[in-house]
Amino acid sequence: MGRLELQSVLEVLLGSENVYFQPPQSTKMAFPCIVYHPDNMDTQFAGNVPYSVTQRYQVTVIDKNPDSLIPMKVAHLPRCLYNRFFTADNLNHSVFNLYF
């Protein structure tokens, strides 16, 4: 699966198009939103040759609501791991690592 499929999955999950891939700092984001970018790759080897490579994305749910249900929806995606939570500029950030 590719990035555009992930974009669609995240938009459906969020219920809006406020899903941003590597947004520049000049982008005016609407909240709640999801921001994601490539983070790492998981490579499986056989005979010292890569035979399976899976892209990992860092997915961040940003919401003004501290009791938002959106992070739990993201947490239920296959191969998704919760990473951390933090607040910045009065916004709640829930960060996940998602292999997709």
Cα–Cα separations (whole angstroms), residue 45 to 10, 53, 65:
30, 9, 43
Dihedrals φ, ψ of 70, to 5°?
Answer: -60, -45
CA–CA distance, 36 with 22 (Å, rounded to integer): 6
Please give the model's pTM, rounded to 2 decimal places. Answer: 0.92
Q: What is the pLDDT of residues 79-93, one digit of tens each?
A: 999 999 999 999 999
| Strands laid side by side in the 19-21 sheet | 19-21, 33-46, 49-63, 91-99, 80-88
| pLDDT value of position 27 | 87
- Where do the domains of the chain lie, and which CATH numbers do they carry? 3-99 (3.30.2000.30)
Q: How many helices (H) and strands (E) does the chain have?
A: 2, 5
The pair of structure tokens assigned to 40 is: 């790492």
Give mean pLDDT, residues 65-69: 96
